[in-house]
Amino acid sequence: MQRVNKGRLREFYEEEARRLSHQEVMYLKGNKHELWWHRKRLHYIFSFLSEIFENNRVTTFVDIGCAEGFYIKYVSSVCSGVFCVGADIARAYVKKAKVSGKKLNTEYIVCDIENLPFQDNSIDIVLCSEVLEHVHNYRGALTETCRIGKKYLVISFPGHSLLYSAINKMEFVRNFVDKLKLDVGHVSEVTVEDVKELLKGECDSLKVKIGGALPLQLFKIIPSVGLVEVIDNSFCKALERFGAVNHATIHVIKIVK
């Protein structure tokens, strides 16, 4: 994992927001294999969210690390009575989200996941997708996320393939990559066990969905995305059976407090 100070991390996201629309690239553009991978996570998140929305009276929804507001725009367009707040550390992302998603009942704020400006147990659904791995103190960030949630949290974070984990253990390779300073990327390695352990006393139930059992680079040699999906589902079942879900590259968890 890279060791980068918070100021530089923040600057990285500010610069990223000025340069591109991250969510548009992840979910709508890119090559078919990358789209498949990102959309698999998206599908899990949406299925958890629809399950919650269908069975509960929801009035407040917060998306932490909202980037350009993809989820906020979706929820506010299909659930008109829900007050939606998108929160992000990067001012430039918040500005972008505000411009493209001006709607009644929607607000965007600049804040750090480690210090969220909401009261305890005040938000019906809190979404935190692909953010924890970008925070050094991800345990504190998760505790803070849980603090503001009234009942439901949906979180997602990536895992690492066996190959990546092996490379990361080699100090000299890691130091070399750090020196290049090419990309800030991920600074923490979040695991399903960690999440379970941290929220042990806080939650009633926890449901995990996984995907991306093999590295995306390997999937890219299979031309048909339909076949990739079939293979991935079988490998994910194997990871679940052998208690090795951390080796999946997609983890989406629904937490009921």
Ligand X SMILES: C[S@@+](CC[C@H](N)C(=O)[O-])C[C@H]1O[C@@H](n2cnc3c(N)ncnc32)[C@H](O)[C@@H]1O
| Interaction site with ligand X (CB under 6 A) | 13, 22-23, 64-65, 67, 70, 88-90, 93, 112-113, 129-131, 134-135
For CA atoms 106, 8, 164, 222, the dihedral sign is positive
The least distance separating ligand X from the CB of residue 234, rounded to whole angstroms, comes to: 26
Nearer to ligand X, 28 or 173 (CB): 28
Min dist CB 250 to ligand X, Å, is: 11
- In the complex, minimum distance from the CB of residue 76 to ligand X, in angstroms, rounded to a whole number: 16
The residue nearest ligand X at its CB is: 65
Nearer to ligand X, 156 or 246 (CB): 156
**Judged by CB, which is closer to ligand X: 17, or 245?**
17
Closest C-alpha to 97, from 75, 68, 73, 77: 68
> In whole angstroms, how close is the CB of 23 to ligand X at the nearest point?
5
Of residues 26, 5, 25, the one with CA closest to residue 187: 5
Q: Report the nearest approach of ligand X to the CB of residue 44 (Å).
A: 11
Q: How far is the CB of 139 from ligand X (least distance, A)?
A: 13
* CB closer to ligand X out of 45 and 58: 45
Give the separation between CA 18 and CA 16, rounded to whole angstroms. 5
By C-beta, is 50 or 175 nearer to ligand X? 50
Q: Which is nearer to ligand X, 130 or 189 (CB)?
A: 130
Two structure tokens written together for 111: 């804040």
**Least distance from ligand X to the Cβ atom of residue 22, Å:** 6
Name the region of 232 (left: φ>0; alpha: ψ -120 to 50; beta: rest). alpha
Q: What b/e sequence results for 98-123 when a residue is b if at least 16 CB atoms lie within 10 Å of its CB, and e otherwise? A: beebeeeebebeeebbbebebeeeeb
Angle between helix axes 91-100 and 6-19 (nearest 10 degrees) is: 30
H helix and E strand count, the chain:
11, 7
DSSP string, 166-202: HHHT-HHHHHHHHHHT----------HHHHHHHTTTT
Written as one string, the DSSP assignment of 10-21 is HHHHHHHHHH--
- Would you say 53 or 70 has its CB closer to ligand X? 70
